[in-house]
Amino acid sequence: MKAVHQLRTFEQLLAAYDGSMPLHRFLPGFFKKNRQMGSTDRRWASRYIYSYFRLGGMLTELNVAKRLAIADFLCHEDMSPVAAQQLPELAGLEQRPADEKLGALRHAGFNADETQVFPFGGLLSEAIDEAAFCKSMFVQPELYIRIRDEQVPQLLENAGQTFEQLSDHCLALPNGAKLETLLPEHSYYVQDLSSQHTAGFFQPEKYGKWWDACAASGGKSLLIHSLEPSIELVVSDIRENILDNLEERFAQAGIRKYQRKQLDLLQNNDQLLKHYAFDGIILDAPCSGSGTWGRTPELAQFFDKRKIAQFSYLQKSIAKNVVTYLKPGKPLIYITCSAFRAENEEVVEFMLDTLPLELERMELIDGYRRKADTMFAARLIGR
C-alpha cells in the first residue's frame, strides 16, 4: 500500500516537473502547492525524483515504476518500498557495490548497461573513463568546504558532525550537513574539492596584477588571494548583480585592493581596458556545467546537445578577447566545470592554433572518482 501511494505521488511530481529550473528550486514550490503531503511523503518524493534522474538514459524501454525501482536500488543502500515491491528478487543486495547491483539486474533479465546513463558518452573529454563516469552518476557528490578558521575541525568534532579532513584547508562532509547551525558564519567557504584543486594552476607571484575575467561571486578570486594576498585584482562579469555578492565576500575577506567592472567579453572592451596588461588571467568560462550534473542529474535529462557547440564557440570567442591583455611570459588559466571535450581540450587546441599562447599543462580534474565535481584546467603562457 505504501509503495502504491508513493508511486502515485512520484508520478504526479514527475509530470509536474519540466526541467526549466533545478529540482532544488522546484521542489519547495511543488510541496507548497501540495499541502496534503506530509514530511515523510516529501522526503520520499525528493529521494525518488533524484534517483530517477540519476538513471539518465538507461532502461528507457521500461515503465516508470520499474525504472524508478531500479534507479532507487542502484542509488541507495536500503530497499525503498517501491524497489521492494517492484524488484523482490533483488532484496538483500541493496548494500552491494554498483557493479554487483548492475550484474544482478542483468541476471534478472534487465538490459542494465551503465554506459547508457550519460546520454552524451562519445563527447566526453579523452581522459575520462566513461564507465566510471557513468557509474558516478548514481552517487550524490559530497559537500566540501574550504576553511578560513583553524577552529572549524574542532567545532565540528565537538558538535558530533562527521567529516573528513582532506588537507589543511579542505573538509568533506555528508550532504545535508547543517553547517550554518554548527559553525560561525564566515569561518568557511562552500567550495567543491575540484574547484579548490584549481588553485595549483595559479602560482601567483608577489604583487602581480591578475584579472578574474568571469568572476561571478568570486570563488576563484578568493582562492588566489588566499595563496598570495599581495596581488592586485581586477574582477569582471557580464552580470552586475553577481558582482554585488562578490563585493560582500571580498569585504568579509578583507580584500580592498581590487577593481570591479561589468564586462561582456564577447564585445570589444578596449575603451575600458586599453591600458591594462596582466601578470595573470583566470578565465573560468561559462560552460555546460556537465561536470556538476552528479549534483543536479535532472539537468542532464533536459540538456540539448546542440548547446555544447554554442558553449565551445562562446569560450573560444572570450579566450580570443581576453588574451590581448596578457603580458608575454605570463599565465592564462582556462577553467571549466564541463566534462565535454569540445569545451575543454578542443578550446585549448583552438587557443594554441590561433592565439599567442603556449601550453604549460592541462588536466581533467576527475572529481567523478572522488564524489566531487569534474572540472578541467589548463595553464597557458603568453608569447
**Where does this chain touch ligand SAM (CB under 6 A) — which range of 23-31, 100-108, 147-155, 257-265?**
257-265
The window from 16-24, 100-108, 182-190, 259-267 that contacts ligand SAM (CB under 6 A) reads 259-267
**Interaction between residue 214 and ligand SAM (CB under 6 A):** yes
75, HSE (Cβ side, Cα atoms, 13 Å): 28
Q: Verify binding: residue 253, ligand SAM, rule CB under 6 A.
A: no
CA 268 to CA 270: how far, in whole Å? 6
Distance CA 237, CA 256 (A): 18
Binding site residues for S-adenosyl-L-methionine, as ranges?
237, 264, 284
List 265, 273, 308, 319, residue binding ligand SAM (CB under 6 A): 265
- 94 lies in the binding site for ligand SAM (CB under 6 A): no
- CB closer to ligand SAM out of 54 and 225: 225
Backbone angles phi, psi at 274, to 5 degrees: -60, -25
- Residue 217 sits in the site that holds ligand SAM (CB under 6 A): yes
Binding to ligand SAM (CB under 6 A) within 271-300 occurs at: 284, 286
Nearest approach, Cβ of 159 to ligand SAM (angstroms)? 28
Indicate whether 114 belongs to the interface with ligand SAM (CB under 6 A). Answer: no
Q: Is 355 in the site for ligand SAM (CB under 6 A)?
A: no
* Residue 352 to residue 323: CA distance in whole angstroms: 12
| Cβ pair 128, 293 in contact under 8 A | no
Each residue 172-211 as x (binds ligand SAM by CB under 6 A) or -, in order, gives: ----------------------------------------
CB-based burial label for 150 (10 Å; 0-12, 13-18, 19+):
exposed
Asked if residue 147 binds ligand SAM (CB under 6 A), the reply is no
Tell me whether residue 219 or residue 331 sits nearer to ligand SAM (CB atom): 219
E strands present in the chain: 143-147, 164-165, 170-173, 188-190, 209-212, 232-237, 258-262, 280-284, 331-336, 357-365, 375-382
Q: How far is the CB of 111 from ligand SAM (least distance, A)?
A: 37
How many whole angstroms from its chain centre is CA 324?
A: 29
Q: Is 264 in the site for ligand SAM (CB under 6 A)?
A: yes
Of the pair 86, 336, the CB lying nearest ligand SAM is at: 336
Number of residues that bind ligand SAM (CB under 6 A): 16
Among the listed residues 143, 168, 145, the one whose alpha carbon sits nearest the alpha carbon of residue 227: 168
Residue 94 · residue 72 · CB < 8 Å: no
- Phi and psi dihedrals of 207, rounded to 5? 60, 15
Burial 163-176 (b: 16+ CB within 10 A, else e): beeeeebbbbbeee
- Sorted by sequence, the CB contacts under 8 Å of residue 82 that are 6+ apart come out as 3, 6, 7, 10, 48, 65, 68, 69, 72
Q: Residues 3, 131, 170, 238: which binds ligand SAM (CB under 6 A)?
A: 238
Q: Which is nearer to ligand SAM, 131 or 242 (CB)?
A: 242
Q: Establish whether 337 is a catalytic residue.
A: yes
Classify 55 as helix, strand or coil: coil
Residue 74 binds to ligand SAM (criterion: CB under 6 A): no
Angle, helices 2-16/64-75, rounded to nearest 10 degrees:
100
Which one, 68 or 364, has the nearer CB to ligand SAM?
A: 364
Distance, CA of 259 to CA of 237 (rounded, Å): 12
123 forms part of the interface with ligand SAM (CB under 6 A): no
Residue 268 Cβ vs ligand SAM, minimum distance, rounded to whole Å: 12
Asked whether position 237 contacts ligand SAM by CB under 6 A, the answer is: yes
Which of 155, 62, 120 is CA-nearest to residue 300?
A: 120
- Tell me: does residue 216 bind ligand SAM (CB under 6 A): yes
Q: How far is the CB of 328 from ligand SAM (least distance, A)?
A: 24
Show which residues are catalytic.
337
Binding site for ligand SAM (CB under 6 A): 214-217, 219-220, 237-239, 242, 263-266, 284, 286
